[in-house]
Structure 1
Amino acid sequence: MMGLPCLIQPGIFVLPTAAGAWLSWSFAAFWLIRLYSQFFVYRADLWRGKRMETVVHWWFSFLWTALAGLFATCGAVQLGWLA
């Protein structure tokens, strides 16, 4: 369900509306919480010391950082912090 607004109507994330700001900041918070969980909730022995799992861990950590940054940027545009 999170992917549908991104695919069907991506403009909602940058048009200045209250719903768009809510959606953008909610998605940013979700991905930040997911990134936090990757390092502090899940056990490190699931990936540490295993080459493929470590590579996947770091790639997904990068992806979640990028998604959180993308949606936070959209939220900042919504609120007029960025032009």
Structure 2
Amino acid sequence: MDHEINPPADSNDPTFLRARALSLSVGAIRKAQGKKCPGDFPVGTIEWHAVVEEFANDVLKAMLSEPDLPILEFKRDNARK
């Protein structure tokens, strides 16, 4: 069953296009690994919630390895200098 909701194809917003490409890439990689994607389950089911969390973690992993994104530096207030 495919319950994925497809956004309008005419959006030319660069941020939207990058996010969509990232989502499609993560989805394709998960399928190749034999993992499920959120679109495989009805929205709101227990399985859907579990897969959404796994999918989001995979998206974050992909984003953190994206070379075009700025490197974020987190500093503690009490860090020694």
**TM-score scaled by structure 2?**
0.33
Question: Larger relative CO (CA 8 A, sep 6+): 1 or 2?
Answer: 1
